[in-house]
Amino acid sequence: MESSKKWDLLVLSSIPLVMTLGNSMLIPILPQIRNELHISNLQVSLLITVYSVMAILLIPIAGYLSDRYGRKVIIIPSLIITGIGGAICGFAAIGMENSYGLILTGRLIQGIGAAGAMPIVLPLVADMLKSDDQISYGLGLIETSNTFGKVLSPIAGSALALIAWYAPFLAIPVISLVSLLLVILRIKAPQNGKSPIRLGKFLKDTLQLYKQKALWLTAVFISGGITMFVLFGLLFYLSEKLEDTLQIKGIVKGFILAIPLAILCLASFITGKMIGKHKKLMKWLLVSSFCIAVVAIGGSIFFDKMYVQISCLSTAGLGIGMALPCLDAFITEGIDKEQRGTISSLYSSMRFVGVALGPPLASVIMARSEHLLFILMTICSAAGGLLALLAIKPGEATSLNKKDA
């Protein structure tokens, strides 16, 4: 791969890093935000959910617009909107006594920006690179940046909260500006060279494509949602457990939360380098990853000691980290450029569904039984493994393009 392409990938990697920091930095300080705003566990979990819900609703629209008008044209205003949303949250926390409503609005705006940023990076990587090996490597790097953001988030969020509980909100416009400048100055998105497809024809072609490949596409979409649901649900559990039960706060809590995420990040990076264009390998790694998660999360049911649970959840992170690059590659490689943005955006929407559901459901279930939460996460992981085993057909995954239509 050319050196210039590697620099382009590094710049694009800043986008998922920013989006992940902007959301996951809040995970370790949710109990602190709850106490400062005098709200319930469910209300504070909505700060994660409302962000994700807006992304879910708008990602498919952003994907279509990026197919029609270009990836960079969508990414740049999306980064600006993300920064504005973070600024609203921060200044509401500083200047208002009852600021929860406006902070929630800021998070909603931030979610609008997220819809047109991270999900559009995946098809842009596939547009910029030529071979399947390069695309797999590029997607692995993007997913590694995403997961590295999750590793950094609990530490950065906890550290910033030592300055002020609202400092993580104020960091969002700063890091968004850095990424924005890098994209403007460095990235030159490839031109399509074709006239934009009319909306009616585009929707017809996309629907026809989905009908032809509905089984395995649906499996990939649902599997992506399951990985994020399990990850964010368990992170919410771990954050609440460390602070409320064990009274572990601040930087120490951030480093503990970073342990399973660091393993997830390393697994994503290694898997992205391994898979290349080998679709059968992707499938069996995906199946294996869910099996690892089932054993690890299921094992947590039988242990109450925190260090054992952290070990089990870290092993589950290994499984999730293996799964993500495989899912990215399945959904991106082989799709024609004209529809790549929309199909990958539908996949990203499903991932955000998991992010949105994880914390509030974990909050409700934890109030009844921690073991019930682990049982639910184990069942979901098993369902993901069965979907991957029975529905994803590597032969079909390599031929998702118009020539088969």
What per-residue confidence (pLDDT) applies to 83? 95
Q: Which two tokens stand for residue 23?
A: 């959301």
What pLDDT, in 10s, does the model give residues 275-311? 877 788 889 999 999 999 999 999 988 887 888 888 9
- Give dist(CA 125, CA 142) in Å, integer: 9
How many other CB atoms are there within 10 angstroms of residue 317's CB atom?
30
Please indicate, yes or no, if residue 160 is contained in any of the structural domains: yes
Place of tokens 């679709």: 279
pLDDT-above-70 percentage for the chain: 89
Confidence of residue 197 (pLDDT cuts 50, 70, 90): low
Q: Quick one: which of 320, 269, 329, 253 has its CA closest to 148?
A: 269
Range of the domain at 287: 3-185+198-404
Q: Examine residue 10 and state whether it is found in any structural domain, yes or no.
A: yes
User: Looking at the domain assignment, is residue 193 inside a domain?
Assistant: no
pLDDT in tens, 104-162: 999 999 999 988 887 788 788 877 877 777 777 787 788 788 878 888 888 899 899 99
Largest CA distance in the chain: 61
CATH of the domain at 95: 1.20.1250.20
368 CB-near residues (< 8 Å, 6+ apart): none
Using CA atoms, how far apart are residues 320 and 283, in angstroms rounded to an integer? Answer: 14
Burial readout 148-173 (b: 16 or more C-beta within 10 A, e: otherwise): bbbbbbbbbbbbbbeeebbbbbbbbb
> Residues 184, 360: contact at Cβ < 8 Å?
no
Q: What confidence tier does 336 reach under pLDDT thresholds 50, 70, 90?
A: low
The average pLDDT across 315-338 equals: 80
| Token pair recorded at residue 219 | 């499996």
Residue 191 lies in a domain: no
Tokens of 289: 């990853």
In contact, 22 and 86? CB cutoff 8 Å:
yes
Is residue 190 included in any domain, yes or no?
no
Report the alpha-carbon distance of residue 196 to residue 273 in Å, rounded: 34
Residues in the chain: 405
The structural domain count of the chain equals 1
Mean pLDDT taken over the chain: 84
User: Would residue 270 count as lying in a domain?
Assistant: yes
Look-up of token digits 């529809």: 339
Q: Which residue reads 């929309």 in tokens?
A: 342
- Distance, in Å, from the CA atom of 60 to the CA atom of 55, rounded to the nearest integer, reads 9
User: Does the residue 290 lie in any domain?
Assistant: yes
Residue 189 pLDDT level (bands cut at 50, 70, 90)? low
Question: pLDDT higher for 213 or 194?
Answer: 213
pLDDT-based confidence at 398, cuts 50/70/90?
very low
